[in-house]
Amino acid sequence: MALPAAQCSWGLLLIFVFFMGFSCTDGASTLPHHNYCIIGAGPSGLQMAYFLQHAGRDYVVFERSHAPGSFFALYPRHRKLISINKRHTGKSNSEFNLRHDWNSLLSHDSRLLFRHYSHDFFPEADTMVRYLEDFASMMELQVQYNTAIIHVRLERDSQAWNGHYFILTDHNSQNYRCSLLLVATGTWVPNVVNFPGSEYVEGYESVSINPEDFAGQSVLILGRGNSAFETAENILGVTNFIHMVSRSRVRLSWATHYVGDLRAINNGLLDTYQLKSLDGLLEGDLEDLAIVKDKKGKLHITLKFYLENSNSSAGAESITLPQDELDNFATRAPYDRVIRCLGWKFDFSIYNRSLRLMPGKGNKKKYPLIKPSYESRGTQGLFVLGTASHSIDFRKSAGGFIHGFRYTTRAVHRLLEHRHHGVPWPSSVYPITQLTNSIIKRVNEASGLYQMFSVLGDIILLRENAAAFEYLEEYPVGILAELELHTGRKAHNGLFVVVMEYGKNFSGADKDVFYYNRAVGEAQHAWQSNFLHPVIYYYKQLPTVREMSLRPPDWPLPRPDAVHHIVEDFLTDWTAPNAHILPLRRFLENCLDTDLRSFFAESCFLFALTHQKLPPFCQQGYMRMQGLVGNKRLRQHAVEAGLLEDHTVTHFTDELLGGQRGSRDQLLKDHVIPSSPLHYLVTTKDEL
């Protein structure tokens, strides 16, 4: 009797165990859950993890490799990073120095500055891997290594933050449920072109990096980016010749001011081409290309067109080559190797169709389509970070690179803090007297504005009557219209947007960036500045979504009520009193219809006894017993400049002149009483 009972209970138990096992793998209610899931422990994934960790949020990073930064473990193949590691700037300002540190991630720990890791101006890629490992471990970031996410799908749930959860499946079929998904996978799928004979082409990802292997060979490289030139640079000295072919002309980063274009460090091939040292550059559509291998194993370039017309059954020798018809055809010499260096694209394959994660258009098709808030166009709650988010500023700013996306990642984090945790965008409130100073301080040291020029901007929200202002740093200007929604700050009284820009017509692949008088020196011509310089936009009202969408292409912002350019500076030091600060102050004064000058206590005293409304500097300083008394020497300078009246002197001459004044003077005195020698002080731009 006991046995069947025991059997029965075992059976139940088995069923229970089975059920448990089932629910562990598939049952929604007991899936491991995180508020934030980050795919990829590369620079942007770790950067976001850092901010989430710092804010005390529930998050996890999934990394398919055993260590962070797996892309850098392989790439660049020749191991030299082209991001600068400038260790000396002559300045100690840590924020300013980040402008010239392209490798560090943002953190509060100064030990995690890249300059402590490498002395090289162009560091080794291995150093980056080591740096990322240190970053993850020192910041104790929650990274789950050896976890390759192979599928992402949505699960509707009205309780979820965005009305759905993200269900991530790893290579072990383990599922994870996430409220919010942060995609930081970068672009790692090599771009390939398929054409007849493409099987003979070696890829950048696997080609030998030993120059010896290329000795005495003729090489054709497909592509014209930094990887193509880097590959050429490596073998330039040992090959017979290198030809490089791509659809578009070469774009030099010093001409385009875009760091993703060809950097000067890799451009040895341009030298040998232009000096007719056998190497060369060609333009042509790779889609039309075909490669034919002859008996000796040499590779011949022909056109797809010829292949289609010839008999496919015939041998390679019977295929028409372009030189058969055009006997001086450029690439008529046979090649020993053809190498493909065409860059990478985003891996779209792991996302379920329901996520509607679409590729961008045109030259942005290698990136997923996202909004200027970095949120996917197809799915709420899916944000794209890092290199994969470069569609926002492709070929414009630095959003595809560490020194750019470390700031956009911070911006995304701030957006999320407000959206899901009610933490408004960080801001500081200052009295209006500090307006000029605040802007000058930021344009001189802020690294986010400098690196993510025209993408991130500082926002200055004016308080009522322009008595005070609120300063928000590095907000994505593409979502300026939704500022109140995204930041929790109010913009009822007008705002300034501070961004940095290159001259509109200065940068470009075909532009001469060395022409005479390329630099503007005079403040009144500041608007014609070519090099990176601060631009301040003034809006009486927040631009609408419609105005944002109707702005001309290449304008970071729609037409403002007023705009001010601070003249470009050779040293990027915008603190000159007359060329930089004075015109800025006048602009701000004109926008706000107020007087932003500073005054000595003596002038404030005079105002206080003769005016009902005082300039803000006097009102907020002197009247609160914090006036600038100054010293004799400074006041004397002001007197000599005619900006302050020396009443002791006037007194003396008054007595000397006594009654000698003409009747005419008397007449005037009777009439125009408000005038005084301090005329320019009294008649300030506004009604005092």
Partner 1 sequence: MLPQENGWVSCFSFLLLGTYSMAAARNANTLLELSPREYFSSLQPGRASLVYFSRDDSPGVRLFLEQLENSVGALQDYGISVVKVNCLKEDVSRYCGKENALMKAYLFRDNILLREFPTDALFDVNAIVANTLFALLFNEVKYITTLVELQNLENSLKGRSNVVFAYVPAVGTPEHRAVMEAAFVYGTAHQFVLTTEAALAKDFGHEDFDALSAQLFFCHCQRVPDLTQPCRRTPMVQSLTTLNIHTYLKLMAAPIVTEVAEDPEKVSTIHLQLGLPLVFILSQQETYESDKRTAEFVAWQLLGKAGVALLSRDSIDLNVLLRSNIALKTAEEGAPIKYLVLEDTDEIVALVEDKIKGEQIPEDEDESDNNDQDIQDDQVMEAVYRDRKRELPLELIRTLTEETFNAALTETAHMVVLFYASWEAVSLAMLQLYVEVAVALKGTQGISLAKVNCWDWPDVCMKQNVTQFPITKMYEKGARSLTYTGMLGTAELLRFLRLSSISCPAKLTTIEEVDEYLTGEVHADSSSYHSTPVLGIFHPSMKEARETFVEAGNMLRGYVTTGLYAEDDALILAHKYAVPLPALLLARREDHRIDSIPLSKQSAPDVVQTIRSQLLETFPEITVENLPDYLSLEKPLLILFNDRGLNQSMRMEMLSVVNGKGREAFLACWMNLKNTPVGRGVLKAYFSTPPPLPLLAWVNRHSSGQVFSFPSDQPVTETNVLSWLEKLKAGLEIPSVHGRTGAFV
Print the binding letters for residues 161-200 with partner 1: x by CB under 8 A, - otherwise: ----------------------------------------
Print the binding letters for residues 82-101 with partner 1: x by CB under 8 A, - otherwise: ---------xxxxx------
Instruction: Assess 635 for contact with partner 1 (CB under 8 A).
Output: yes
Q: Which one, 337 or 635, has the nearer CB to partner 1? A: 635
Instruction: Assess 669 for contact with partner 1 (CB under 8 A).
Output: yes
Sign of CA dihedral 51, 56, 62, 68: positive
Smallest gap, in angstroms, from Cβ of residue 389 to partner 1? Answer: 28
* 313, 330 contact by CB (below 8 A): no
Among 612, 653, 656, 660, binds partner 1 (CB under 8 A): 612
Smallest gap, in angstroms, from Cβ of residue 483 to partner 1? Answer: 22
- Distance separating alpha carbons of residues 581 and 560, to the nearest angstrom: 21
**Rounded to the nearest 10 degrees, how much is the dihedral formed by the CA atoms of 243, 244, 245, 248?**
-140
Q: By CB under 8 A, which span of 258-266, 268-276, 555-563, 609-617 interacts with partner 1?
A: 609-617
Instruction: Assess 675 for contact with partner 1 (CB under 8 A).
Output: yes
Instruction: Assess 106 for contact with partner 1 (CB under 8 A).
Output: no
Smallest gap, in angstroms, from Cβ of residue 423 to partner 1? Answer: 19
Instruction: Assess 66 for contact with partner 1 (CB under 8 A).
Output: no
- Distance separating alpha carbons of residues 233 and 46, to the nearest angstrom: 32
Q: Residues 46, 47, 51, CA angle at the centre, nearest 5°? A: 110
Smallest gap, in angstroms, from Cβ of residue 85 to partner 1? Answer: 21
Helix axes 43-54, 125-138, angle to 10 degrees: 20
DSSP H or E segment with residue 563: strand 562-565
Q: Which one, 271 or 654, has the nearer CB to partner 1? A: 654
Smallest gap, in angstroms, from Cβ of residue 608 to partner 1? Answer: 6
Smallest gap, in angstroms, from Cβ of residue 99 to partner 1? Answer: 13
Instruction: Assess 102 for contact with partner 1 (CB under 8 A).
Output: no
**Rounded to the nearest 10 degrees, how much is the dihedral formed by the CA atoms of 155, 172, 35, 471?**
-110
What residues between 644 and 663 interact with partner 1 by CB under 8 A? Answer: 644-648, 650-651
* 463, 429 contact by CB (below 8 A): yes
Smallest gap, in angstroms, from Cβ of residue 675 to partner 1? Answer: 3
What residues between 133 and 162 interact with partner 1 by CB under 8 A? Answer: none
Q: By CB under 8 A, which span of 63-71, 204-212, 484-492, 667-675 interacts with partner 1?
A: 667-675
* 220, 243 contact by CB (below 8 A): yes
- The bridge status of strand 468-476 relative to strand 427-431 is antiparallel
Q: Which one, 501 or 595, has the nearer CB to partner 1? A: 595
Instruction: Assess 243 for contact with partner 1 (CB under 8 A).
Output: no
Q: Which one, 368 or 627, has the nearer CB to partner 1? A: 627
Q: Which two tokens stand for residue 83?
A: 């991001």
Instruction: Assess 671 for contact with partner 1 (CB under 8 A).
Output: yes
Q: Contacts with partner 1: how many residues (CB under 8 A)? A: 83
What residues between 418 and 447 interact with partner 1 by CB under 8 A? Answer: 428, 430-431, 434, 437, 440-441, 444-445
- Burial tier of 56 (Cβ tally within 10 Å: 0-12, 13-18, 19+): exposed
Within 10 angstroms of residue 620's Cβ, the number of other Cβ atoms is 17
Q: Which one, 276 or 632, has the nearer CB to partner 1? A: 632
Q: Which one, 207 or 536, has the nearer CB to partner 1? A: 536
Q: By CB under 8 A, which span of 154-162, 189-197, 457-465, 642-650 interacts with partner 1?
A: 642-650
Q: Which one, 116 or 518, has the nearer CB to partner 1? A: 116
Instruction: Assess 594 for contact with partner 1 (CB under 8 A).
Output: no
Q: Which one, 325 or 655, has the nearer CB to partner 1? A: 655
Asked if residue 68 has a cis previous peptide bond (ω within 30° of 0), the answer is: no
Among 158, 159, 626, 660, binds partner 1 (CB under 8 A): 626
Instruction: Assess 674 for contact with partner 1 (CB under 8 A).
Output: yes
Q: Which one, 196 or 616, has the nearer CB to partner 1? A: 616
What residues between 359 and 388 interact with partner 1 by CB under 8 A? Answer: none
Smallest gap, in angstroms, from Cβ of residue 648 to partner 1? Answer: 4
Among 585, 588, 592, 616, binds partner 1 (CB under 8 A): 585
Instruction: Assess 634 for contact with partner 1 (CB under 8 A).
Output: yes
**Secondary structure E strands in 157-305:** 164-170, 175-183, 189-190, 201-203, 218-222, 241-246, 280-283, 289-293, 299-303
* C-alpha dist (Å) from residue 126 to 98, 123, 131, 187, 550: 21, 8, 8, 19, 45
Instruction: Assess 609 for contact with partner 1 (CB under 8 A).
Output: yes
* 336, 221 contact by CB (below 8 A): no
Q: Which one, 101 or 393, has the nearer CB to partner 1? A: 101
What residues between 454 and 493 interact with partner 1 by CB under 8 A? Answer: none
Q: Residue 266: name the closest of 49, 542, 82 by CA.
A: 82
Q: Residue 69: name the closest of 143, 178, 171 by CA.
A: 143
Instruction: Assess 575 for contact with partner 1 (CB under 8 A).
Output: yes
Smallest gap, in angstroms, from Cβ of residue 339 to partner 1? Answer: 47
Instruction: Assess 523 for contact with partner 1 (CB under 8 A).
Output: yes
Instruction: Assess 638 for contact with partner 1 (CB under 8 A).
Output: yes
Smallest gap, in angstroms, from Cβ of residue 445 to partner 1? Answer: 7
Q: By CB under 8 A, which span of 81-89, 295-303, 416-424, 678-686 interacts with partner 1?
A: 678-686
Q: Which one, 156 or 671, has the nearer CB to partner 1? A: 671
- Burial tier of 227 (Cβ tally within 10 Å: 0-12, 13-18, 19+): buried
**How many Å is the Cα radius of gyration of the chain?**
33
Q: What are the backbone angles phi and psi of residue 670, rounded to the nearest 5°?
A: -65, -30
With a CB cutoff of 8 Å and minimum separation 6, the contacts of 147 are 62, 63, 64, 170, 171, 174
Q: Which one, 312 or 626, has the nearer CB to partner 1? A: 626
Q: Which one, 83 or 447, has the nearer CB to partner 1? A: 447
Residue environment code for 284-305, b if the CB has 16+ CB neighbours within 10 A, otherwise e: eebeebbbbeeeeeebbbbbee
**Rounded to the nearest 10 degrees, how much is the dihedral formed by the CA atoms of 457, 463, 468, 470?**
-30
Instruction: Assess 629 for contact with partner 1 (CB under 8 A).
Output: yes
- Distance separating alpha carbons of residues 195 and 222, to the nearest angstrom: 12
- Distance separating alpha carbons of residues 76 and 127, to the nearest angstrom: 12
Q: What are the backbone angles phi and psi of residue 93, rounded to the nearest 5°?
A: -65, 110
Smallest gap, in angstroms, from Cβ of residue 368 to partner 1? Answer: 36
Among 199, 325, 554, 670, binds partner 1 (CB under 8 A): 670
* 459, 499 contact by CB (below 8 A): no
Within 10 angstroms of residue 623's Cβ, the number of other Cβ atoms is 14
